Amino acid sequence: MDDRQLLETIRDLIGRDETSDDCAAFPFDNGRKVLVSTTDMLHKKTDFPRRMTPWQMGWMSAAASLSDIASCGAQPTQVLVAVGLDRPERLRPIMEGAVACTRACGAVVAGGDIDSHTELTIVTTAFGIVEKEYYCTRSGAKAGDLVCVTGRPGSAQAALDGCSGYWENLVMPKPQVFTGQRIARAGASAMMDVSDGLAVSLYDMGEASDVGFVLRESLPLLPIADAKKYFLYGGGDYGLLFTIPREKFVRMDVPVSVIGEVVEEPGVFLGEEPVEKLGYAHVWN
Amino acid sequence: MDDRQLLETIRDLIGRDETSDDCAAFPFDNGRKVLVSTTDMLHKKTDFPRRMTPWQMGWMSAAASLSDIASCGAQPTQVLVAVGLDRPERLRPIMEGAVACTRACGAVVAGGDIDSHTELTIVTTAFGIVEKEYYCTRSGAKAGDLVCVTGRPGSAQAALDGCSGYWENLVMPKPQVFTGQRIARAGASAMMDVSDGLAVSLYDMGEASDVGFVLRESLPLLPIADAKKYFLYGGGDYGLLFTIPREKFVRMDVPVSVIGEVVEEPGVFLGEEPVEKLGYAHVWN
């Protein structure tokens, strides 16, 4: 059983929107604004590669939540950090990394919790604010919209598999908060980050929006072996996947790649060829 | 080294208020309201007694954060739940317990994260809203104020040590959210919950408010052996400790016990006798 299947078992308890979007939403200011929030648990065994420093672990943990805020088109305001510490001397560098990433995104670390734990575990919660009209979710993609992505999907996975030159993409991912806001203001119809991998993110967005995707044969691949596999299935990147009506794309002035088009039929295709629904997932045996 | 000492090592990074209050604060609605938020990490080895059911673990985890929101005088709005799951079949009852506690407090579980973990770990984050004029923190207690507490401190610790009749206090703690709001509106000068134990909470509040406390000899003790020890040093209860100017106390209509008075000199005394600064703490060796 993986985490997506497990999530199905509690959808009726929490709600469909609540279990499919990256962030929880709370309208305020008479419905003119939305407070978005998200929480992410990372821990040593499955999330922090060897050779990663505690500072980088703190940075990556904050980045995981800040990236979800970015994918709503929101400006992050605050981050809370709960640390289950195996070794007390790690707290300071972990928090320095978390604070550095949070500040780089224009927010502040506003508190947290400290716990002793056999396995280093970091749980970050981030909040952000976005005007209702610019608030993006995974639903809203419409047939005919362009499909776009920021950054170079596959970079983090490439680093994890030993390709040189991509280590920083893996251990110091940059949440695309300012880019996310510009994409949202340009008129994106749906947005999410690709931290679980591009292919599974497309499937998730397709399900939430009730659409499918056809990708172009010419993709912005990395100059490495098996580049297409890394592009489609590699996890750990914090680029943004979004859809946008064709006529609104011209107003964009951020670095993005158009990788395909939204279609009515469900599924994800690369030209004629079906793309597998594979990506990062926690698995319980 | 315990968690209070450890917290000292990062105060300069995060800020003094941010590391001493139960909740982070974010002013909104042109400063008329405050969004409060808090995060708590609980895990099997140190937080969930044997014989506790997964449903109760979910309840207790949500309660830990909701109690912090209550201590600000705020109305909880949303809870996020990150679960590091050892066994997938536990997710549903854990979430049912978390949802039940959250609903009982007038809020909703709005999302979360699922992770696989060798040790069951639950991290809850709660948000709440309070009008600025009623927002309570640990600072604000003034010499001459009454010191009060809700509930029966020591009950949870008594259950943990095998006293019968208190099991529910331990495994299904009730966050005092509605009581907290009434206390705040009555004009409390400082408030916090006593989940780490009354004595250490008094020391924390005294430090934040730059005051001391003298407790009365007649305390609302449990009818058990070593009752005073449990009252002062037992952790795991979710009652509220607050201070309030004497003339405002008459307006209260919630069940509380007056246990002493705020004084100028730092420290905590039971009559003439000093109370030790002991309570619940995580310790790293």
Across the interface, of B3, B99, B117, the residue whose CB is closest to A114 is: B3
**Alpha-carbon gap: A265 to the closest alpha carbon of chain B (Å):** 29
CA distances to A84, A109, B7, B16 from B12, rounded to whole Å, are 20, 12, 10, 7
Task: Give me the interface pTM, i.e. the ipTM.
Answer: 0.89
Nearest Cα neighbor of A138 from A80, A189, A79, A69 is: A189
Helix, strand, or coil (residue B248): helix
Q: Is B179 annotated among the ligand-binding residues?
A: no
**Alpha-carbon gap: B220 to the closest alpha carbon of chain A (Å):** 31
Residues of B in contact with A87 (CB under 8 A): 284
**Alpha-carbon gap: A270 to the closest alpha carbon of chain B (Å):** 30
Q: Does the pLDDT at position B283 exceed 70?
A: no
Radius of gyration, alpha carbons of chain B: 18
Structure tokens, B39: 């995060």
pLDDT averaged over every residue in chain A: 92
pLDDT band at B281 (very low <50, low <70, confident <90, very high): low
Number of neighbouring beta carbons within 10 Å of residue A12: 10
Q: Does the pLDDT at position A9 exceed 90?
A: no
Top-confidence range, A18-22, B18-22, B256-260: B256-260
Predicted pLDDT of residue A281: 65
Orientation of helix B177-186 relative to helix B54-70, angle to 10°: 10
Dihedral pair phi/psi, residue A231, rounded to 5°: -60, -45
> Which alpha helices (DSSP H) does chain B contain, by range?
3-8, 11-14, 16-20, 44-47, 54-70, 91-104, 155-160, 167-171, 177-186, 198-209, 227-233, 246-249
Annotated binding-site members of A = 22, 38-40, 47, 68, 112-113, 138, 193, 195-196, 280
Predicted pLDDT of residue B165: 92
Q: Mark yes or no for CB contact B37/A80 under 8 Å.
A: yes
Q: Does the pLDDT at position B282 exceed 80?
A: no
Number of neighbouring beta carbons within 10 Å of residue B248: 15
- Proportion of chain A above pLDDT 70, given as a percent: 98
pLDDT digits (tens, 9 = 90+) for B115-139: 899 999 999 999 999 999 999 999 9
User: For the residues of A23-80, what is the DSSP string, one character each?
Assistant: SEEEEETTTTEEEEEEEEEEEHHHHS-TT--HHHHHHHHHHHHHHHHHTTTPEEEEEE
- Say if residues A80 and B37 touch (Cβ distance below 8 Å): yes
Longest alpha-carbon distance in chain B: 54
Regarding predicted confidence, which is higher, B13 or A188? A188
**What mean pLDDT do residues A255-284 have?**
88
Whether residue A225 lies within 8 A of chain B, CB to CB, comes out as: no
Whether residue A9 lies within 8 A of chain B, CB to CB, comes out as: yes
Residues of B in contact with A7 (CB under 8 A): 114
Whether residue A127 lies within 8 A of chain B, CB to CB, comes out as: yes
The CA distance from A127 to B264, in Å, is 38
Nearest Cα neighbor of A51 from A222, A158, A165, A170 is: A170
pLDDT band at A284 (very low <50, low <70, confident <90, very high): low
| List of domains in chain A | 3-133 (3.30.1330.10), 136-274 (3.90.650.10)
- Proportion of chain A above pLDDT 90, given as a percent: 78
Q: Does the pLDDT at position B75 exceed 70?
A: yes
Nearest Cα neighbor of A138 from A52, A241, A42 is: A241
When scoring B8, B83, B121 by the number of chain A Cβ atoms within 10 A, the one with the most, hence best to mutate, is B121
pLDDT digits (tens, 9 = 90+) for A36-92: 999 999 999 889 988 899 999 999 999 999 999 999 999 999 999 999 999 999 999
How big is the A-B interface in CB pairs under 8 Å? 190
The residue written with tokens 């110091």 in the block is A172
Instruction: Pick the residue from chain A with its C-alpha nearest to B77.
Output: A26
pLDDT digits (tens, 9 = 90+) for B175-218: 999 999 999 999 999 999 999 999 999 999 999 999 999 999 88
Instruction: Pick the residue from chain A with its C-alpha nearest to B79.
Output: A24
Q: Mark yes or no for CB contact B109/A85 under 8 Å.
A: no
- The amino acid occupying position A245 is P
Q: Does the pLDDT at position A285 exceed 60?
A: no
Q: Mark yes or no for CB contact B82/A114 under 8 Å.
A: no
pLDDT averaged over every residue in chain B: 92
The CA distance from A84 to A61, in Å, is 13
**Alpha-carbon gap: A47 to the closest alpha carbon of chain B (Å):** 10
Q: Does the pLDDT at position A18 exceed 70?
A: yes
Q: Does the pLDDT at position B144 exceed 90?
A: yes
Q: Does the pLDDT at position A102 exceed 70?
A: yes
Number of neighbouring beta carbons within 10 Å of residue B276: 11
Predicted pLDDT of residue B107: 97
Across the interface, of B82, B109, B283, the residue whose CB is closest to A123 is: B82
The CA distance from B197 to A175, in Å, is 40
Whether residue B13 lies within 8 A of chain A, CB to CB, comes out as: yes
The CA distance from A268 to B6, in Å, is 49
- Proportion of chain B above pLDDT 90, given as a percent: 78
- Distance, C-alpha B166 to centroid of its chain: 18
The residues in B 25-44 lying below 8 A from A, measured between CB atoms, are 25-26, 28-29, 35, 37-43
The CA distance from A193 to A56, in Å, is 20
Q: Does the pLDDT at position B280 exceed 80?
A: no
Structure tokens, B2: 């315990």
Taking the alpha carbons at both ends of chain A, their separation in whole angstroms is 7
**Alpha-carbon gap: A216 to the closest alpha carbon of chain B (Å):** 32
Regarding predicted confidence, which is higher, A15 or A20? A15
Instruction: Pick the residue from chain B with its C-alpha nearest to A280.
Output: B115
Based on the number of CB atoms within 10 Å of its own CB, is B223 exposed (0-12), middle (13-18) or buried (19 or more)? exposed
Structure tokens, B69: 């929101």
pLDDT digits (tens, 9 = 90+) for A192-249: 999 999 999 999 999 999 999 999 988 999 999 999 999 999 999 999 999 999 999 9
Radius of gyration, alpha carbons of chain A: 18
Residues of A in contact with B111 (CB under 8 A): 14, 18-19, 21, 23-24, 37-39
Q: Mark yes or no for CB contact B77/A26 under 8 Å.
A: yes
